[in-house]
Amino acid sequence: MTKEKPLIGDDGAVFTSDGLDIEVTGDNAKTLGKAGIYIITAIAADSFFPAGMKVGEAYPADGSEVLKNGDKARRILLEEAADVTGFKLDVTKDQIDVTRLKDVYKKFRPGKRDANGTMNMIFTLGVTNRKGGLVDQMMKTVRKSDNAVTVTEVGDKPLYFVGYINKTNVPGETEAFVFGQIHLYGISFGGQSNAAQSFDSNFKLTGIDPIFYTTDIPLTTEPNSGVQP
């Protein structure tokens, strides 16, 4: 049962990734071995994965799970977006006007859902400009270290997005996050005296539809031993 906890901004965290670990193939015996969030890549007829889950969706695992023959999954190589100071994801539904002449009051039916997000960021050297980070998503980069020079073409791959509204591993509490795939659409350079070099980056969903996850941390769990990205 979820324990009530009014949330504040500092309960949240953001993790992103554009990479996956090697695929794990189920054999009815071997555990996943590593805690994390896994992308389902195949579902067996008598699958370990709960009914209703689909290929491409995420499954939060503690590493003790045993996949069935025919099940396959890949762990997301998540990194905390340490340059993020806050985020917001607004989910809305279109309102389609179906009012007819005979109606006294206007009538509506729901249409497509939409999700628009914003990440509030502080440009942080070593994070914002890391390989696969936001700078790489926006422009070509050249990195020189000692005598080595690395050139990276501008990326356009979607990122896996894990937006925690409650990031915890405290026994008895509930961890909660939104999962999806996103494209980021903005970065700003520069700043002004006596102020952080902060900016907002908008993002839109792509690929699979977003899913809201909650995980109750067992009372017997030692701190820091829960599902970790």
Q: Tell me the pLDDT tens digit for each residue of 109-132.
A: 999 999 999 999 999 888 888 887
Give the model confidence (pLDDT) of 184-206 as tens digits: 888 888 888 999 999 999 999 98
Identify the helix (H) or strand (E) that includes residue 136: helix 134-138
| DSSP H or E segment with residue 176 | strand 174-184
* Residue 222 confidence (pLDDT) above 70: no
pLDDT on residue 28: 94
The pTM assigned to this predicted structure is: 0.81
Q: Burial level of 144, CB count in 10 A (0-12/13-18/19+)?
A: exposed
Mean pLDDT of the chain: 89
In whole angstroms, give the CA distance from residue 143 to residue 187.
Answer: 19
Helices H / strands E in the chain, number of each: 1, 13
Distance between CA atoms of 17 and 78, rounded to whole angstroms? 5
For residue 52, the one-letter residue type is G
